[in-house]
Every structure is written in structure tokens, then in C-alpha cells.
Amino acid sequence: MSTGTRRLELEEVGDVTVAKFTDKKILDEGNIQIIGNQLFALIEEGRQKIVLDFSNVEYLSSAALGKLITMDKKVKAAKGKLRLCAIRPDIYEVFAITKLNKLFDMKDNLEAALQGL
């Protein structure tokens, strides 16, 4: 995978993989596809504990939400754990309106997301 298409910054914190989105706007279908593939690859590599860090993200499309739902299903199927953190209030509102805030385990910041994972 070329670094030009990498949309996630990965960091290992103990046995947890932290995937930080590098894009401010996750709107473009092509980028969403790349992000989805990179997220799904984490599961295929056998990573069990994943935190998605949204601190850079200012805009998120509904197609991106679809990828997150698929990611959640894949993580659960692999008996893993997925948490989302550092979601801006206006983006959180989209999760709340769609009731996805009930589906995802969401924390205010990375430190909170890493606790007890």
C-alpha cells in the first residue's frame, strides 16, 4: 500500500491499535473506500482492540457512517472491541440523530478510550 493513499495514522498503545484519521473531511467516496479497506485490514490482521481517533475530523459523510457500522460488525464478529473518541460536537450530533451513539462505544478523548479496553 503506498503511503500516498494512507488515510489512517496507526499507533500501538499496549495491545490497542489507535487509528487516527488524517483527513479533516471524510466526504469523498474514493477516500471512504480506502479508509474502509484500511480499517477492515486491521481486523484481518487479527487486531482485537481498536480505537478510532476522530480528533482531526471536521466533516463526515453518511457513506463514512456506513463503513463504521460495517467495521463495528466485523470487530464484533472477531470478538474484538471498538471505541471511537474525540468526536466533535457537530459530528456527534449526526451519531445521535441516527442513534449510532447507542451502537458505538464513544469516549471524549483518547485517554478515556484506552481505559479498560
pLDDT beyond 60 at 3: no
Distance from C-alpha of 84 to C-alpha of 100, rounded to nearest angstrom: 11
Domains of the chain, start order: 7-114 (3.30.750.24)
For residue 2, the SS3 value is coil
Distance from C-alpha of 15 to C-alpha of 35, rounded to nearest angstrom: 22
pLDDT confidence of residue 21? 97
The pLDDT-based confidence of 5 (bands split at 50, 70, 90) is confident
Distance from C-alpha of 68 to C-alpha of 35, rounded to nearest angstrom: 10
Half-sphere exposure of 49 toward its Cβ, with a 13 Å CA cutoff? Answer: 11
pLDDT in tens, 53-103: 999 999 999 999 999 999 999 999 999 999 999 999 999 999 999 999 999
DSSP percent split of the chain into helix, strand, coil, nearest 5: 45, 25, 30
Q: What is the pTM of this model?
A: 0.93
Dihedrals φ, ψ of 104, to 5°? -90, 150
**98, 65 Cβ separation under 8 angstroms:** yes
